[in-house]
A and B are shown apart, each in its own frame.
Chain A
Amino acid sequence: MLRFFLSLILIALCTLFQGSVISMIPYINSTPNLLLIVTFSIGILRGRDEGLLYGLLCGIAMDLVSGGYLGFYALFYMYLGFGCGFLHQLFDVDVPLVAVILTILSEILYHLYVFLFRFVIRGRLSISSYISSIILPEMIFTIAFAILLYGIIVAMNIALEKYEQRSALKFV
């Protein structure tokens, strides 16, 4: 239960940060996708079920603060969280490189999704210019934030696991 509330707070903070705070910070001219980081982090740390749940919540948060169609982002984030859940326990999670590689992969998927369903569908096909003006800047900033945020989420996960073990022992 504690985990659920803490994750909710984390998602709320990231949404707020992504939507309102980032634009105030100078030199950051592309919005990093913090909710994407939260989604794949929870997916890889906690597995499919929780990846799906928190991915869905992140996606809904994203849908709520932007004016598009409700469910558009939720659908993608849900599958991303679920998909990252398959990587659960496959490799060592507390290496920053994991965060970097996962950021790059999920950013590529995310941009492909948006590009296909919001741009190709209207006949806007100039992907090369989108890559240089939208995708690469966002990816760089997201990677920078990912190393930090992923560290926080891993630390939070370790602390929570300890707490859960302790409270489980109490009942025994």
Chain B
Amino acid sequence: MKKKIKTLFKIKYVLLVLTIILLGSIVLTYARGGNLSTYKNGIVSIFSPVRNAVAGIRNAINNSAEEKKSKEELKAENEELRTENEKLKSIIEKYQTDIYELQELKSLLDLSGEYSAYGTVAANVIGKNTGNWIYEFTIDKGSDDGIEMYMNVVADGGLAGLVTDVGKNYSVVTSILADDMNVAGISSTTRDSCIVSGDLELLEEGRIRIMYVHGDADIKDYDRIVTSTTSNRYLPHILIGYAHDITMDNNELTKSGYLVPAVDFQHLEYVMVIKHVKGKNKE
């Protein structure tokens, strides 16, 4: 009996010490803005090659499924692709003229916020959603490839998220769908500003929330919402998604609604990390 009490006391002591350490760690990482790279690097870096291999296997499976297509299917597909190719060529022609026009207009406006100027790193998505509450994913590039905290991540030409943790050869990206993510946005047509906020409730519908739109603002359905210059984390003029169902709030002062993200998060495999942290190296 005495021994039993003694062991209970001992383990309680251990529990207390560990609790204090863990609470300290939470506070410490909270104070540092969630950056844990220095603690985490050693252990998780070992995991990353394995996770790479797993992602490789997934790609191999996808490829082998492709190879199994029959000759007829391939012929039909070839035909289809050719006609599509022609179509796309003509579209490109059109776009090229548009781009020249755009460049001219941009130089007039002196918009140097285009992210292509910063250089990008392509990365594979090697892990998704360890838990179901916070929507985040892991990519196979880390500090070795020049990735830093709070770099913007884009995919399919739209904003996918923000690097929230960097390891040696991996990083964790919190997507804009995550419930605690907020992005300052602006409508590209009407220049009305808004806040795009992730919302777990809407995750299944594939949309997120738009809030704090000025009551007089005239954002219509399918208006492009891009990142605003006022955002302290996101580079300006990256497409976030398309507005939907913007209605007046009960307070008659602000409007809110929904946003359909430009990125297809269900089938996210490759992403681009923009190698620039906003607010750093301002020259």
- A: which residues have CB within 8 A of B? 12, 15-16, 18-21, 23-24, 30-31, 33, 48-49, 52, 56, 62-72, 74-75, 78-79, 82, 111, 114-115, 118-119, 122, 124, 126, 129-130, 133-134, 137-138
Q: A52-B15, A65-B44 are in contact. Are A114 and B127 (CB under 8 A)?
A: no
**Shortest Cβ distance from residue A128 to the other chain B in the assembled complex, whole angstroms:** 10
| Contact of A69 with B19 in the complex, beta carbons under 8 Å | no
**Smallest Cβ distance from A9 to chain B, in angstroms?**
12
Given A78-B15, A124-B200, A134-B200, residue A68 in contact with residue B34 (CB < 8 A): yes
Q: Could you tell me the distance in whole angstroms from the C-beta of B15 to the nearest C-beta in chain A?
A: 6
* Additional pairs, 12, CB under 8 Å, beyond known A64-B43, A70-B26: A16-B54, A20-B138, A30-B132, A64-B44, A67-B34, A67-B134, A67-B173, A71-B22, A75-B26, A78-B15, A82-B15, A133-B204
Cross-chain contact B23 with A75 (CB below 8 angstroms): yes
- Tell me if B193 counts as interface (CB < 8 A to partner A): no
- Inside 8 A of A12's CB, which chain B residues have their CB? 47
When distances are taken between beta carbons in the complex, the residues of chain A under 8 Å from B14 are 52
Contact A70 B36 (CB under 8 A): yes
Determine the chain B residues whose CB is within 8 A of the CB of A119 once the complex forms.
133, 179, 200
Q: Which of B26, B164, B203 has the most CB of A within 10 A?
A: B26
The answer to the question of B18 belonging to the interface, with a C-beta cut-off of 8 Å to chain A, is yes
Query: Who on chain B is nearest to A33 by CB?
Result: B131
Pair A20/B200 contact, Cβ less than 8 Å: no
Give residues of chain B (158-210) contacting chain A, Cβ–Cβ below 8 Å.
164-165, 172-174, 179-180, 200-201, 203-204
Residue of B nearest to A114 (CB): B133
- What separation, in Å, do the CA atoms of A64 and B25 have in the docked complex? 13
Judge whether B47 and A65 touch: CB under 8 Å: yes
Interface range, B side:
35 or more
Among candidates A18, A69, A115, residue contacting B130 with C-beta atoms closer than 8 Å = A18
With A30-B132, A65-B127, A75-B19 as contacts: A70 and B200 at CB distance below 8 Å: no
Q: Which residue of A lies closest to B25 (CB)?
A: A71
B130 in contact with A133 (CB, 8 Å): no
A56 and B34 contact, Cβ closer than 8 Å, known pairs A21-B54, A66-B130, A124-B200 = no
For chain B, what secondary structure do more than half of its interface residues adopt (helix, strand, loop), or is it mixed? helix
Chain A nearest CB, measured from B165 CB (Å):
4
Shortest C-beta distance, B243 to chain A (Å), equals: 22
A63 partner residues in chain B, CB cutoff 8 A = 36
Q: Kindly provide the distance from the CB of A126 to the nearest chain B CB, expressed in whole angstroms.
A: 6
Chain A nearest CB, measured from B9 CB (Å): 12
Q: Assess whether B29 is interfacial by the CB under 8 Å rule.
A: yes
How far in angstroms is the closest Cβ of chain A from B52? 9
Q: A67-B164, A70-B40, A133-B200 are in contact. Are A23 and B127 (CB under 8 A)?
A: yes
B21 to A, closest residue via Cβ: A71
